[in-house]
Amino acid sequence: MEPALIGTRLASAAISPLLKKLLVSDGPGAGLTGNAPKVRLSGLVSFRGEKRSLTEKDVRRLAATLVERSLDERAEAPFPADETEAVVHTLGTTLLALGDLDMDDVQAVRLGHHTLARRLRAAAPAPDGLSTDSALYLESLTEWACLHILEFFTQRSTFIARSLVEQTRGQTELIAKLDEVIRRTPRADGRDTAFERRYLDHLAKKHGRLTIYGIDLHHSPDRWPLDLAYLSLEATGTGADSPWFETGTAAPTTSDRPAPPDDDKESPWFAAAPAGFGTGGLAAPLDHGVRADLALARHDRILLRGLAGSGKSTLVQWLTVSAATEGRAEGMAYLNGRIPFVLPLRTLTRHGERLPAPDLFLSAAGCPLTAPDGWADRVLSAGRGLILVDGIDEIPEAERGRAREWLRGLLDTYDGNRWLVTSRPTAVRDDWLASDGFTELTLSPMTRTAVTTYVRRWHQAAGPDAEPYEQPLLDALRTAEHVAQLATNPLMCGLICALHRDRRGFLPRGRKALYEAALSMLLTRRDRERDMAAPYGVTLDEAPQIQLIQRLAYWLTRNGRTQLDRARAESIVTEAAPAIPEASAYDPNALFTHLLHRSGLLREPTEDTVDFVHRTFQDYLAAKALVDHWDIGVLIGHANDDQWEDVIRMAVGHARPRECAEILRELLAAADAAEDRRIRLRLVLLAATALEHATEVPPEVRAEVLARTAEVIPPRGVREARELAAVGRLVLDLLPAPEGLSQGHAYLVATTASHLSSDAALLYLAGFVGRPEILVRSQLMWAWTRFDAERYAEEIIAKLDPAELYYTVVTDDQAAALSRLGLRPELLDIRAGVGEDGFAFLRPVLPDVRGLKLLGFESARSVLDTLGPLPQVTSLLVEVDLEDPPFRLIAEGFPHLNALVLEGAPHATWDVTLLAPLRGLRQLLVPQGATLTGLEHLPADISLTF
């Protein structure tokens, strides 16, 4: 349906004022008083800011009216009738996105209604499950609405005046930019231009693929396209407060704006950006992080810190390719015209060479092309350079001061370029480059969503042969906690993806093998295969490094800590080194510094403390040390401490057969000695979960552990089921598969799992969705509140057989999920916790409801009034007031009731005369001890139960 066709149906005096309600009126003038920033769209809409006159609910009603009027008098609707509510909801959400666009009215009109509609649809959440007809209808209706909205903008009193001002400013800026282009135009008779084209093509090819080091890949590709696999990383730091990071739009270049004082957060610049800037005031503190690849849009000079494998070098590749290629990714247009110089310091100083001058940048970095004489100087003098200095930590510590002086010399000579320097967090002190105008940022660990995205892109990039392994790995990341704990940065995610693919869908069995692969990569293979030198003068194989680092893990775990003083860490290494022949030849201070900065396992969160980058590595290495020292008393003494669960299980993995048998027997003996039943259960289950980590164990010990486990799993009653859940997540690994369980066992096992609020439990419970038993399905329904509402609804609720099942809704999020998935249950149980928004989401669900429960609300009257008449409901359970039962509302709103249950008012005295209109009522259940009068007015054959 074209906008013009919709417009003929909607272009009326009744509709135009409705759309105009979306906007606030403004006073006369050009809106240029003083230095005030432009008013963005968020300040012009009527459902945001101080001039708010519409609520979100009002906007959604307006959307419903627009859809309704566009359908009037049509012989056939342009989309399926059962998608009407979804269409209305999507249109409302799209109109609400008008307040999120970072532009003003002049900019919006300049876009035109087609582009504005596209921006709105992009800013709103993508609709799920709409048919093609519905999507086309929404596209046309949105464009038509945008056409009217832009018309309203042009009628604002400030529009013409501001348009003229914008035109004048635009001409001035254009002249300035043309002057800059002329200034930057390469010379040397076009040779520079021809060379740059070849050079950028070379960079795009060289850096356009990612490589994983340190993994034996027999069946997997070791390189893949960067544009397919790159994941936007997040960074935090004191200087990343620009609102551009929130909107994802590119910032103006330095030639377009003054640089704000980074150290003055009270500056007016932060409160009101100059004309042409993204506005919104000072951004929130940086807990949420910013896109690292957009940081150079805001700051010309950045020192970026990140742990081993956090993605520093990959970011350098991404910036290089984004500058070198046409069709840049969203937000990367700020690199237009930039010439990248990729300077990996480990390569530049491999043989002790002096750091190069610009004319030697290309040859020092291994570029085979020969530039015209003076080309690099001309590029940098024109301020067109993107200088990417990768790996301050990868050169010897003694050379880092000289590297800073080299960098300062370049900065003093060439102004106006963009500079990125990367380092591991502790390789250089805080503010190392602050006096040179550098902003410091730190790459953040990947979120769970980012990990999922990374895995999907990795498998897409790896080709069609990898596709069957994607979902099993995602499932493993949700169910195998030890795998998820490692997947916190791109390097480790890539390791796990490659290992899983290379083993044709199987990760190394157990934690021990997985950690051995990870440690091998981090400690030796990654640096060796990247042709790294020894920046601290220390070259150690994997085994001696593990021996030293596990002493630190041992001390931390024995003392119940996750962090220790740097001085104590140094002393532990110093004491251990003489007993390790390969390490004894080195200075202990150099040894410790090497382990801290190059192992990838340790970090320095503050200047005088040390900890492990992953707690799981500490547990793994502490378990190895405990077995090496054979401190079994320490292990068993902490068996009931949940912080030691992983240590004990991995100790069984490290132990030899006789040692393994002793640990397991001691756990069972400790269980027998425990007086608390929960502790006994916990120790038995800990022995059972540890058993799977054993490489070899005597048959009689295995049989004993399995026999003891069989006594409690599956549980024999609801109480046992809940007691098992109280033990914690480890019980999940022992529960039987859902398939083949009897009805009773299925219900009890599902009860246990449903009390474990973890992703692994959700995946396990998904195996029960096909069970026909009402008890099992009801338990799955009740568990909804313990998990993420939307995800659980998609994976569990939407797949349940609805027969005889009450859908229990306790929160607005659950109501929204029910509506979004298009579920139409006949039996609905609404609990206190559902508010006005929740009832709005439930409104399209209610017409199909035949049985309704309303429990926990302070006022039954207000709830019934909100619901309105539901004549199709034949069964109602409601918690009513003691003194003022809403019998009239029940009789009027539910005229076809045949069963009514009243709860919540024991020993009440009620006159039920007002229920007389319910002539079909056959069952009435009231609280114990209630006294009823007026029963003679009810049907004679009614069944009354107290």
Q: Which of 682, 692, 612 is nearest to 641 (CA)?
A: 682
- For the entire predicted model, the pTM comes to 0.48
Residue with tokens 């980590």: 693
Alpha-carbon gap, residue 239 to 298, rounded angstroms: 9
Question: 897 near 921, Cβ under 8 Å?
Answer: yes
- Nearest C-alpha neighbor of 590 from the set 330, 398, 327: 398
Q: Tell me if the domain spanning 772-945 has CATH number 3.40.50.
A: no
pLDDT at 38: 59
Provide CATH code, domain 536-629: 1.10.10
Distance CA 2, CA 898 (A): 50
* Angle formed by the axes of helices 84-96 and 113-123, nearest 10°: 100
Q: Look-up: residue for tokens 């895995």?
A: 455
Nearest partner of 407 among 334, 461, 358, 478, judged by Cα:
358
What is the residue-wise DSSP string for 343-370? EEHHHHTTTSPPPPPGGGHHHHTT----
d(CA 402, CA 355): 9
Is 801 in contact with 781 (CB distance < 8 Å)? no
For tokens 């708010």, what's the residue? 52
Using alpha carbons, select from 495, 445, 496, 491 the residue that is nearest to residue 472: 496
Sequence letter at residue 735 = L
Question: Cα separation of 902 and 881, whole Å?
Answer: 10
According to CATH, what is the number of the domain 225-443? 3.40.50
DSSP count for the chain of H helices, then E strands: 43, 21
Q: Which residues of the chain have pLDDT under 70?
A: 1-16, 25-39, 50-51, 72-76, 157-158, 160-189, 211-224, 228-229, 238-289, 308-309, 328, 350-352, 426, 509-511, 521, 524-536, 642, 726-730, 882
Residue 503 carries which side chain, given as an amino acid letter?
R
Contact between 333 and 248 under an 8 Å Cβ cutoff? The reply is no
| Residue 689 dihedral angles phi and psi, to the nearest 5° | -70, -30
Per-residue pLDDT at 596? 85
CA–CA distance, 44 with 105 (Å, rounded to integer): 8
- Three-class SS state of 564: strand
Q: Are 573 and 586 in contact (CB under 8 A)?
A: no
How many residues are given for the chain?
A: 946
What is the Cα 700 distance to its own chain's centre? Answer: 46
The whole-number pLDDT of residue 177 equals: 54
Residues 414 and 381: beta-carbon distance below 8 Å? yes
User: pLDDT value at position 288?
Assistant: 42
Question: pLDDT tens-digit profile of 282-334?
Answer: 222 333 467 889 889 888 999 998 876 688 888 999 999 999 997 767 778 88
878 forms beta bridges with 854, 902
What is d(CA 795, CA 767) in angstroms, rounded to the nearest whole number? 10
Residues 6+ apart with CB under 8 A from 622: 550, 553, 554, 556, 557, 558, 647
Sign of the CA dihedral with 610 first, then 615, 617, and 618 last = positive
Structure tokens at 869: 């008449």
User: Could you give the CA distance from residue 535 to residue 393 in angstroms, rounded to a whole number?
Assistant: 8
Cβ neighbors of 424 (< 8 A, separation 6 or more) are 305, 306, 307, 308, 393, 597
Helix (H, G, I), strand (E, B) or coil at 740: coil
| E strand intervals along 378-430 | 385-390, 418-423
Would you state the structure tokens that stand for residue 419, as one six-digit string?
Answer: 């500079």
Residue 4: half-sphere exposure toward Cβ, Cα within 13 Å: 0
Residue whose pair of structure tokens reads 């897409």 in the numeric block: 460
Which of 224, 427, 417 is CA-nearest to residue 345?
427
pLDDT in tens, 620-665: 899 999 998 888 888 888 877 767 888 888 898 888 889 999 999 9
What does the alpha-carbon distance between residue 763 and residue 714 come to, in Å, rounded to a whole number?
A: 18
C-beta of residue 566 within 8 angstroms of C-beta of residue 593: no
Residue 562 DSSP label: S
End-to-end C-alpha distance for the chain, whole angstroms: 59
> Do you find a cis peptide bond into 714, omega within 30 degrees of 0?
yes
Residues 291/245, Cβ–Cβ less than 8 Å: yes
Question: To 5 degrees, how large is the angle CA 134–CA 139–CA 145?
Answer: 120
* Cβ 280 vs Cβ 317: under 8 Å: no
Under a CB-based contact definition with an 8 Å cutoff, are residues 204 and 321 in contact?
yes
HSE of 440, CA atoms in CB hemisphere, 13 A: 16
Tokens standing for 173?
Answer: 């800026």
- What is the pLDDT, as a whole number, of residue 180? 53
User: Domain spans of the chain?
Assistant: 3-165, 225-443, 445-532, 536-629, 630-710, 772-945
Six token digits for residue 7: 């417009």
Instruction: Give residue 250's pLDDT.
Output: 32
What is the three-state SS of 107-144? HHHHHCHHHHHHHHHHHCCCCCCCCHHHHHHHHHHHHH
Task: Give residue 35's pLDDT.
Answer: 41
Q: 690 vs 22, 681, 682, 697, CA distance in Å?
A: 62, 14, 12, 11
CB 661 within 8 A of CB 690: no
Sign of CA dihedral 932, 934, 936, 942: negative
The residue assigned the tokens 């998990």 is 787
Residue given tokens 């070259």 in the structure block = 539
Closest to 557 in 3D by CA, of 638, 632, 670: 638
Residue that the structure tokens 């799209």 belong to: 94
